[in-house]
Structure 1
Amino acid sequence: MAFPFKDTVAVVTGAGGGLGQALALDLARRGARLALTDRNPETLAKSCEACRAAGAEVSEHMFDMADAGAVAALPDVVVERHGQVDLVINNAGVALAGTFEQIGLTDFEWLMNINFYGPVRMCKAFLPALKARPSAHIVNISSLFGLVAPPGQTAYCAAKFGLRGFSESLRHELSETNIGVT
């Protein structure tokens, strides 16, 4: 069954550029209302302008996926502004190259907080709002490095392998509900 994007509310993290911006623009063209997040105010504003130019109703949220308090507060802000949430796309992420020996644990934890715990927290925070809808979906963006593990990508692969496993398990747990997980 195809997801009905028209008149749905989609939250897209990391919407300030790259894949997040492309997803937001595509959703705007399909008639979705958007809550876009990014930690860079300039790139977020440009993405929001582009989506508005495509005809979408857009709310703009300066946001850091590593901030657990900000993640917990976001669903109420989005529901207050848009009345509902139908789709959450956890796209925000960072990269960190270097061997395990070269990378400090503080940097490793920084990456894990954004690339793994950020999406996990988003899923937990948005679950009640998504359950309130007749049909909803969560998309957790992973990477080829969630399937293969080249040297020099220890932290990134750990986060993306973890996110892939989390998403697959969550899909099974929610299979009898109105929420799909990809």
Structure 2
Amino acid sequence: MNTLVDRTAVVTGAASGIGKCHLALVDINGEALERVRAELALPNRKVSLHVANVADRPRMLALPEEVLAAHGHVHLLVNNAGVSVAGRFEDVSLEDMEMARLSPELSQEVTARLSQRMPF
């Protein structure tokens, strides 16, 4: 028995998709999200799209209420997106370091806000 059938999942970094749930898909690439929605547009499957960069504080803090307005509740959160920085330390910009710092912080904040409203 699949306990995720007819549940709502929020998946960041979702351009590759997930099935058997109602989905609130979040990714920085809106065009890729549209392609995933087309692939997942099955009967009785509710899919909402939310374009967001996980290092964009105002956007990520607005996301939980936006998802809840679209779906009413969330059963599962997959913090799949993240920002990493590669290269020699002296070659990494301060902006890139700040984005890498913000990504886990904002993921934690979204988790806290959504988990308060999960029906468990």
Instruction: Determine the C-alpha separation between the residues in 2 that align with 1:104 and 1:62.
Output: 25
Specify every segment of 5 or more residues in structure 2 that has no aligned partner in the other structure, as ranges: none
Residue by residue, what CA displacement relative to the aligned partner does 1:21-61 show, whole Å, maximum 9, x if unpaired? 1xx33xx2x3x100001111111111111111486210111
User: Percent of aligned positions with the same letter in both sequences?
Assistant: 32
Report the counterpart of residue 125 of structure 1 in structure 2. Answer: 113
Deviation, 1:5, is: 0.4
Report the counterpart of residue 12 of structure 2 in structure 1. Answer: 13
Residue by residue, what CA displacement relative to the aligned partner does 1:108-140 show, whole Å, maximum 9, x if unpaired? 1112222x223112112212112xx12xxxxxx
Deviation, 1:87, is: 0.4
* Stretches (4+) displaced over 6 A: none
Deviation, 1:74, is: 1.6
Match of 1:88, SS state, is strand
Instruction: Determine the C-alpha separation between the residues in 1 that align with 2:43 and 2:110.
Output: 27
Letter aligned with residue 29 of structure 2? N
> Is residue 90–residue 122 contact of structure 1 (8 Å, CA) maintained in 2?
no
Greater share of helix: 1
Letter aligned with residue 79 of structure 1? L
Instruction: Determine the C-alpha separation between the residues in 1 that align with 2:79 and 2:59.
Output: 14
Instruction: Determine the C-alpha separation between the residues in 1 that align with 2:63 and 2:113.
Output: 8
**Structural RMSD (CA):** 2.1
Deviation, 1:84, is: 0.7
Deviation, 1:3, is: 7.2
Q: When the two structures are aligned, how many residues end up with a matched partner?
A: 120
Instruction: Determine the C-alpha separation between the residues in 2 that align with 1:64 and 1:44.
Output: 13
Residue by residue, what CA displacement relative to the aligned partner does 1:141-160 show, whole Å, maximum 9, x if unpaired? xxxxxxxxxxxxxxxxxxxx
> Is residue 11–residue 34 contact of structure 1 (8 Å, CA) maintained in 2?
yes
Report the counterpart of residue 108 of structure 1 in structure 2. Answer: 97
Paired residue for 2:68, among 79, 90, 104? 79
CA 1:54/1:14 → structure 2, altered by over 3 Å: closer, same or farther?
A: farther
> Is residue 71–residue 125 contact of structure 1 (8 Å, CA) maintained in 2?
no
2:93 matches 1:94: no
Instruction: Determine the C-alpha separation between the residues in 1 that align with 2:36 and 2:56.
Output: 22
